[in-house]
């Protein structure tokens, strides 16, 4: 292969190496410098010489300043780039460059499970939610029994999934931060893929009582009748372990009988709520897989669907590109509110945004969180930002939505489950990440990863970097794949292998 590098914006003064084996010292780059040293794939080459303090530009934005003098053709390594200050939140432009509405995209449908409240599932699952970690091992035992002994009699039901977690007791349940995990767990428990009707297993003495988790009632039962709901099992009311398991299995069979009557029906693409996040990002993520997701996001918005992007610390340094796109000033202020909240949260923990990039991110060519954020927000496409949801809140608006979450893969995915019925996961370094509640489509930033992990990666966006496909072509491929997976016509690799990460509700409140 001839020497290839990618320069994203005309003003960029660095570019990333495309060649899988990197480029050797002395390589003459077309329309670029001669390399002064070997540069690995995805890492940055200096397109000009820098004096100390000169701005380093990628994506048309300053990602830092040269910490030392850098000669043209040099490998621009992490330690050569000093971290700039984050965009000041009090000076951002609000709703000053609202994109024109995208033309409607009609006629696209998927086969989903319509619920009585109007929500639509992409799977048919028996959900068993828990109020406290104490019951998790017993519930996990019951789930194994249900899968082996009962579920085979109900082939129309895809699975039984336990919502187990580390919350529920030993916490300051009335602290302001406690609202986040409680709200998240409530909304996950009422997920459309559970038909909005889970079983609930409680210990009995925990702080997070069922009535607190579901203050508006459950399964058609309002308070105080909720306390007598036949689908709520309190372990401390049962006589021994065997009776606990028997009670769960009896309730499970009743619910499975109901769920087995659900059938897929044709639904408009507007019923999709698609969440997206990055994991194991590299320098290609912002030029291949994330822009392809952004193109698919625009198609979903055109079709009337909801598209969620998240990860506060991977938006914070690009927030100045988003507030002008807010549909109105209030939405812009809502986005700033979430950025401020997280700035203060990190400050209380004596940390800041610089803690975000991982060793793998850096190995993949990302110098700092600024460069990472500029690539991350490419997932947001080009449409107007219609609303902002706080941590664990259920999203009800259509179009492009920022749903606040930490950047942690596991916590972000958990919080997005409060709303989404489909999940997109982009990766450069690779991860076998999965979620049991919704299908997870994994998209690689590089073809080398897709070839190395052909049984884990669902879509290769690396074709964009090599010039074999355009962002538009891969975006359309992803859009069609979303409809097929949501319909059950295609299965993602994580579902094929049964891979699912444990849920990790975000708890910013005190533990007692």
Please give the angle made by the CA atoms of 398, 403 and 409, to the nearest 5 degrees: 130
Same structural domain, 133 and 189:
yes
As a whole number of angstroms, the distance between CA 435 and CA 440 comes to 7
Of 234, 259, 284, the domain-final residue: 259
Judge if 329 and 223 occupy the same domain: no
184, 282: one domain: no
**Do 321 and 180 reside in the same domain of the chain?**
no
Residue 227, token pair as written in the block: 């306390």
Name the burial class of residue 4, with classes exposed (0-12), middle (13-18) and buried (19+) by CB atoms within 10 angstroms of its CB: middle
The reply to whether 305 and 388 lie within a common domain is yes
Same domain? For 372 and 493 the reply is yes
Residue 457 forms part of a structural domain: yes
**Both 356 and 487 in a single domain?**
yes
Q: Per-10-residue mean pLDDT for the chain, 512 residues long?
A: 90 95 92 93 96 97 97 96 95 97 96 95 98 96 98 97 95 93 96 95 95 84 65 93 96 96 97 96 96 98 98 96 98 98 93 86 93 97 98 97 96 97 97 96 97 97 95 98 98 96 93 88
Q: What's the CATH number where 248 sits?
A: 3.40.50
What would the DSSP string read from start to end of 356-418?
---HHHHHTT--SHHHHHHHHGGGGTTS-EEEEE-TTPPP---EEEEE---S-HHHHHHHHTT
HEC profile of 259-300:
HCCCCCEEEEHHHCEEEEEECCCCCCCCCCHHHHHHHHHHHH
Domain that holds residue 25: 1-84
- Residue 502 forms part of a structural domain: no
The candidate with the shortest Cα–Cα distance to 441, out of 379, 370, 358, is 379
Question: Which residue in the block uniquely carries the two structure tokens 């082939």?
Answer: 155
Peptide bond into 311 cis (omega under 30): no
223 in the same domain as 290: no
CA dist 512 and 505 (Å) reads 17
CATH number at residue 15: 2.30.130.110
Q: Is 152 helix (H, G, I), strand (E, B) or coil?
A: helix
In a domain, 180, yes or no: yes
Residue 142 lies in a domain: yes
Q: Count Cβ neighbours within 10 Å for each residue of 296-317 and write b for 16 or more, e otherwise.
A: bbbbbbbbbbbbbbbbbbbbbb
Pairing mode of beta strands 81-82, 75-76: unpaired
pLDDT at 199: 95
CA dihedral 395→397→400→406, nearest 10 degrees, is: -20
What pLDDT does residue 357 have? Answer: 86
Residue 461's contacts (CB-CB under 8 Å, 6 or more residues apart) are 288, 289, 292, 426, 443, 444, 445, 474
Burial of 233 (0-12, 13-18, 19+ CB in 10 A): buried
Query: Per the domain annotation, does 102 fall within a domain?
Result: no
Q: Are residues 198 and 288 in the same domain?
A: no
Dihedral angle computed from the Cα positions of residues 435, 334, 272 and 325, in that order, rounded to the nearest 10 degrees: -120
Q: Would 487 be classed as within a structural domain? A: yes
Distance CA 43, CA 366 (A): 8
- 459 and 488 housed in the same domain: yes
Residue 145 sits in the same domain as residue 189: yes
Q: What's the whole-model pTM score?
A: 0.95
Tally the domains of the chain.
3
Last residue of a domain, one of 190, 225, 259: 259
Residue 319 neighbours by CB distance under 10 Å: 21
Among candidate residues 313, 285, 290, the one with its CA nearest the CA of residue 408: 313
In a domain? residue 136: yes
Torsion 242-245-248-249 (CA) sign: negative
* Same structural domain, 254 and 321: no
Buried b (16+ CB within 10 A) or exposed e, 238-256: beeeeebbebbeebbbebb
Last residue of a domain, one of 259, 281, 302: 259
Strands laid side by side in the 399-403 sheet: 385-389, 399-403, 306-309, 273-278, 422-427, 440-444, 459-460
């Amino acid at each position: 292969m001839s020497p290839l590098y990618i320069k994203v914006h005309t003003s960029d003064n660095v570019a990333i190496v495309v060649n899988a084996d990197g480029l050797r010292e002395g390589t003459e780059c077309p329309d670029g410098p001669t390399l002064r040293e070997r540069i690995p794939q995805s890492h940055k080459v200096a397109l000009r010489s820098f004096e100390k303090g000169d701005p380093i530009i990628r994506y048309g934005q300053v990602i830092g300043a040269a910490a030392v003098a850098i000669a043209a053709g040099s490998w621009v390594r992490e330690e050569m780039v000093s971290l700039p200050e984050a965009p000041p939140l009090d000076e951002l432009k609000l709703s000053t460059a609202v994109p024109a509405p995208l033309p409607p995209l009609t006629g696209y449908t998927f086969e989903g499970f319509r619920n009585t409240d109007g929500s639509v599932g992409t799977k048919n699952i028996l959900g068993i939610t828990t109020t406290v970690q104490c019951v998790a091992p017993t519930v996990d035992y019951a789930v194994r029994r249900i899968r082996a002994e009962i579920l085979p009699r109900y082939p129309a039901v895809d699975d039984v999934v336990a919502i187990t977690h580390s919350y529920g007791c030993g916490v300051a349940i009335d602290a302001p931060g406690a609202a986040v995990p409680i709200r998240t767990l409530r909304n996950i428990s009422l997920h459309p893929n559970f038909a909005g009707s889970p079983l609930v297993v409680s210990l009995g003495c925990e702080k997070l009582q069922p009535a607190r988790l579901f203050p508006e009632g459950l399964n058609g039962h309002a308070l105080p009748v909720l306390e007598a709901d036949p689908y709520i099992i309190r372990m401390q009311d049962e006589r021994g372990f065997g009776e606990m398991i028997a009670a769960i299995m009896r309730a499970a069979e009743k619910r499975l009988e109901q769920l087995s009557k659900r059938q897929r029906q044709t639904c408009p693409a507007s019923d999709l709520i698609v969440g997206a996040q990055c994991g194991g990002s590299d320098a290609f993520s912002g030029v291949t897989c994330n822009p392809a997701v952004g193109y698919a996001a625009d198609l979903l918005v055109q079709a009337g669907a909801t598209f969620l992007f998240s990860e506060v610390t991977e938006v914070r340094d690009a927030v100045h590109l988003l507030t002008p796109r807010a549909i109105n000033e209030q939405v812009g202020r809502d986005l700033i509110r979430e950025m401020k909240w997280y700035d203060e949260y990190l400050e209380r923990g004596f940390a800041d945004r610089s803690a975000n990039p991982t060793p793998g991110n850096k190995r993949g060519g990302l110098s700092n969180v600024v460069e990472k954020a500029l690539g991350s927000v490419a997932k947001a496409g080009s449409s107007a930002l219609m609303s902002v949801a706080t941590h664990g809140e259920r999203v009800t608006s259509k179009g492009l939505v920022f749903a606040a979450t930490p950047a942690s893969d596991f916590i972000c995915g958990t919080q997005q489950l409060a709303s989404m019925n489909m999940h997109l996961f982009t990766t450069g370094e690779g991860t076998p990440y999965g979620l049991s509640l919704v299908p997870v489509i994994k998209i690689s930033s590089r073809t080398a990863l897709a070839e190395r992990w052909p049984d884990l990666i669902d879509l290769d966006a690396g074709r964009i970097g090599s010039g074999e496909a355009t962002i538009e072509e891969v975006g359309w491929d992803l859009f069609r794949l979303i409809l097929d997976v949501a319909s059950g016509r295609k299965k993602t690799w994580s579902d094929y292998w049964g891979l699912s990460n444990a849920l990790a509700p975000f708890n910013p409140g005190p533990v007692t």
